[in-house]
């Protein structure tokens, strides 16, 4: 994953100067908060919230469909392993 370094804000900076985070979000569309020098949080405009939730639900649905297919395709093997 590529992350634009201009979006990165250390946790201590975000705590001390949240207006800096807001400015980055306004200018770049999101900000990434670092915790222990690792990307930990993404701050995005609230207007994108519904889209993020929809994406998350879609992803969960795809994972569930895949799990069901794996179970159906391998049911006999799972039954044998369960003995």
pLDDT tens string 12-45: 999 999 999 999 999 999 999 999 999 999 999 9
Q: Which residues contact 6 (CB under 8 A, 6 or more apart)?
A: 24, 28
Determine the Cα–Cα distance for residues 62 and 69; give it in Å rounded to an integer.
Answer: 11
More confident of the two residues 11 and 3: 11
Q: Which residues pair with 39 in a beta bridge?
A: 34
Quickly state the pLDDT bin for 5 (edges 50, 70, 90). confident
Taking all residues of the chain, what is their mean pLDDT, rounded to a whole number?
Answer: 92
Indicate whether 3 pLDDT > 80: no
Residues near 34 by beta carbon (within 8 Å), at least 6 away in sequence: 8, 9, 10, 11, 40
What's the confidence (pLDDT) of residue 1? 63
Strands of the chain (E only): list them.
Answer: 8-10, 31-35, 38-43
pTM score of the predicted model: 0.65
């Amino acid at each position: 994953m590529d992350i634009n370094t201009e979006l990165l804000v250390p946790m201590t900076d975000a705590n001390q100067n949240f207006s800096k985070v807001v400015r980055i979000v306004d200018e770049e569309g999101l900000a990434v908060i670092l915790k222990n020098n690792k990307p930990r949080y993404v701050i995005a405009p609230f207007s994108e919230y519904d889209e993020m939730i929809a994406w998350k639900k879609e992803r969960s649905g795809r994972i569930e469909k895949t799990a069901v297919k794996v179970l159906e395709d391998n049911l006999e093997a799972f039954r044998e392993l369960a003995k």
